[in-house]
Amino acid sequence: MAEFRSWRSYWDFKSSVSSTNRYIFSTDIQEFLDTILFTSKKRQTKFPRNTILWRAQIGCREPFDENDVDDIPYEFERMKPIEYRAVEGRANPKGIPYLYLATDKNTAMAEVRPWKGQRISLGLFRVTKILNVVDFSPKLVNPPVYFKETTPENREESVWAWMNDAFSQPTTASDDIAAYAATQIIAEMFKNNGADGIVYRSSLGDGDNIMLFDLKSAEIVNCAVYIVDELHFEFKPCALGLP
């Protein structure tokens, strides 16, 4: 039975592929990836054909004329990634597009991080086949931290929770692409082992995100424009200091 060496195994892996060797794996790194693959067996789930998912994009088309008061959503083609022109993502390398969706409309719109008053084109997608996906979403709200090594079960739960956290982090234009190396490698490993995609908890909405390797795994069937009516932020200190 494969076990993770440490509850910090994901962080050791991330450090290695980000700053040491990215394409030629050491024995330790290959062992870590093999353990992910082995422990993923209990995390595999299916999405039935015709499952409804959502995808949002900031903006919309201009009205047909000045007398038309309704905003017009983007064309269906605009709501899907363009083949061979994808930017770096948490799961996809540059030039290899994956389809990022969400389980509910509010999560999809939250994922694009809009400002109050912005228009959003929201697409309704329908799954075209039975999807076999790996579910990263953790049982715990926050990834656990241990001050000494713990049981194999706790190590496994921690590693998967930290991987979910890594996938759920929003991307920014200022990110170093090396920051995506770890999650891209893990995603590609599942892609090459027959998975249709992965599921991970959104850090911006209440639902889950679904990332599909094949752009044809889901088709858009409708699109509408939403306006951001209200935003809500909550803050907490990360260290002792101001009350």
Domain map (residue ranges) of the chain: 9-227
Higher pLDDT, 65 or 237: 237
Residue 176, pLDDT > 90, answer: no
Q: Evaluate whether 128 touches 218 at the Cβ level (below 8 Å).
A: yes
Residues 142-166, buried b or exposed e (16+ Cβ, 10 A)? ebeeeeeeeeeeebbbbbbbbbbbb
The dihedrals phi and psi of 210, each to the nearest 5 degrees, come to -120, 125
Q: What is the DSSP string of 41-100?
A: GGGEEEE-TT-EEEEEEEB-BPPSSTT--S-BPPPGGGGSPPTT-PPP-SSS-TT---EE
Within the chain, strands assigned E span: 44-47, 52-58, 99-102, 119-127, 131-135, 197-201, 208-212, 218-227
pTM of the model: 0.88
Q: Give the Cα separation of 161 and 80 in Å (integer).
A: 29
**What number is the average pLDDT over the span 223-232?**
86
| 1-56 residue pLDDT tens | 789 999 999 999 999 998 888 888 899 999 999 999 999 999 999 999 999 999 99
Q: What is the mean pLDDT of residues 126-131?
A: 97
| Beta strand pairing call for 131-135 and 197-201 | parallel
